[in-house]
Structure 1
Amino acid sequence: MASGQAVKLFVYDLTKGLASQLAPMIIGRPLDGIWHTSIVCYNQEFFFGGMGIESCPPCGTILGSPDKQVHLGSTEVPSEMFYEYLSQLGSDTFKPQKYELFHHNCNNFSSEVAQFLTGKDIPSYITDLPGEILSTPMGQMIKNMLENTQVSPGAGQTTRHF
């Protein structure tokens, strides 16, 4: 029996380590990072942001290599079916105009896609982070500043929108 397609979660700290240093002073509690995630399978990295659902070669975003790679398992979903699924998500649930940094973001997308492909969710320390930040007074104050953060493929990388 052939094994399925590997599915990985790429985890990036958007602050490049600053969150762990500054969070106790700014929001009064420690944070390991401010996470951006993507799903890697079928030789592509898939993510959601202000431009909608996009893909590029693995490590092809402006963020470069991920801080962590989490093996989520494997999938038997054929690539054609997966691309159809992404197309449906991109025309409804994950339209560009539905992106919200704290409530409907790349991590929500990664969670949904991981469950579709593997039946497993991404780690809760990632999906719980927005609520943890917003539960602090300073988190509410910096919300507007942070909502303008976006990730896109790096220069010269091919991109596919769904």
Structure 2
Amino acid sequence: MDQTVCYPVKLYIYDLSRGMARQLSPLMLGKQLDGIWHTGIVVHGEEFFFSGSGINSCPPSGTVLGDPLSIVNLGSTEVTPDIFTEHLNSLSESTYRGDKYNLLEHNCNTFSNEVAQFLTGKKIPSYITDLPAEILATPFGAALHPLLGAVIVNPGGNNVTGQP
């Protein structure tokens, strides 16, 4: 008898601004932002995320960011650890190499969204994925676009593929 094993999948959400976005966004952007989001997918006992060094993992809440601001239960997956590792290795050689990181267009949230869909068929909340467009739609955000595009976020963890 074949027994299917399901593994829980969670989205860990961190505010990179540590509350500053909520305080300063009305003044700087003319609109309220609740945070500047960094996300990671927790599955198989590890937290996986994309940064300027590529795809990384650590124990849940194991980055310098500490505990997440919130956790979203994305459901469960039947994808085994081995198949998931193969998938991550494939992504790390193409779409999610460290040199492909861009804070506004191809970041940790892009990665979390793609991995969530691979594992569960569900997307991460749109308030996270829509944030860069929201910021760029403001005059201040548009003026900062060249600077923000060059910023690299790297909260730590271990590179999944061993590539720099």
Aligned residue number for residue 109 of structure 2: 107
Q: Which residue identity lines up with residue 21 of structure 1 in the other structure?
A: Q
Task: Give the TM-score of the pair, scaled to structure 1.
Answer: 0.93
1:95-118 deviation line (CA, Å, top 9, x unaligned): 111100000000000000000000
1:44 aligns with 2:43: no
TM (normalized to structure 2)?
0.91
C-alpha distance in structure 1 between counterparts of 2:75 and 2:126, whole Å: 17
**1:1-162 pair list within 5 angstroms:** 4-146=6-148, 147-153=150-156, 159-162=158-161
Is the 1:61–1:151 contact (alpha carbons within 8 Å) kept by the matching residues of 2? no
Measure the CA separation in 1 of the matches of 2:25 and 2:124.
23
C-alpha separation between the residues in 2 aligned to 1:130 and 1:47?
Answer: 18
Contact kept? 2:8, 2:43, Cα under 8 Å: yes
CA distance in 1, matches of 2:107, 2:130: 12
Q: Mark the runs of 5 or more structure 2 residues left unpaired by the alignment.
A: none
Aligned-residue RMSD, C-alpha: 1.4
The Cα shift of 1:145 comes to 4.1
Q: Following TM superposition, by how much is the alpha carbon of 1:152 offset from its aligned partner in structure 2, in angstroms?
A: 2.5
The code of the aligned residue for 1:161 comes to: V
- SS at structure 2 position matched to 1:38: strand
Shift of 1:149: 4.1
Runs of 4+ in 1 over 6 A off after TM superposition: none
